[in-house]
Structure 1
Amino acid sequence: MPMVTVSISPQQAAGIRAAVDNGGYASSSEVVREALRLWDSARKLGEIKADLLNDESVASGGRCVADMFADHEAQRRRSA
C-alpha cells in the first residue's frame, strides 16, 4: 500500500487517537481510510447531484466530510 504523509491539526489527531482508544478502530490508518472513503463518496455524490441538476452550486453546497464522518460515528456508536 502506498505511504502518504499528511499534516493534521492537533484536534484531528486527538480525535483519531480517541477513536482507536475507544475501540472503534484497530489503528489510526483504519480511521483515516474510512474518512477518505466517506470523502470520496461525498465527492461523487456531489458530482452526481450537480450532473442531475446541472447546477454547479450543488456540488459545493453539500455537507462537509467532517459532518458526514461525525454522523457516521454517531450511527456506529448507536448500533454497537
Structure 2
Amino acid sequence: MPMVTVSISPQQAAGIRAAVDNGGYASSSEVVREALRLWDTARKLNEFKADVLDEISPSGGRCVGDMFADHEAARRRSA
C-alpha cells in the first residue's frame, strides 16, 4: 500500500487514538481508511445530488427565495 503523510490537528489525533484505544479499530490506519471511504461516499453522493437537481430543476436546485433575492439585488443595482 502506498504511504502518505498528512498533518492533522491534535484533536483529530486524539480522536483517532481514542477510537483505537476503545477497541473500535485495530490501528490508526483503519480509522483513517474508514474516514476516507466515508468522505469518498459523501463526495459521490453530493455529485449525484447535483446531477439529479440539474435534471429536475432548471434553476440548478436553488430555492425560490434565493432566485427572488438575486432578482431584487439586480433590480436595485439597475435602479
TM over 0.5: yes
Distance 1:56 1:29, change over 3 A: farther
Corresponding residue number in structure 2 for 1:37: 37
Corresponding residue number in structure 2 for 1:50: 50
- Which structure would you say has the larger Rg? 2
| Matched positions, count | 57
What amino acid does structure 1 have at the position aligned with 2:24? G
Q: 1:4-43 counterparts in 2 under 5 A? A: 4-43=4-43
CA distance in 2 between partners of 1:8 and 1:35 (Å)? 13
Structure 1 residue 36, shift from structure 2 partner = 0.1
CA distance in 2 between partners of 1:46 and 1:21 (Å)? 33
Structure 1 residue 56, shift from structure 2 partner = 7.2
Q: Percent of aligned pairs with the same residue? A: 86
Give the TM-score normalised by the residue count of structure 1: 0.68
CA distance in 2 between partners of 1:56 and 1:29 (Å)? 38
What's the secondary structure of 1:26's corresponding residue?
A: coil
What amino acid does structure 2 have at the position aligned with 1:51? D
Corresponding residue number in structure 2 for 1:69: none
Unaligned runs of 5+ in 1: 58-80
CA distance in 2 between partners of 1:30 and 1:45 (Å)? 22
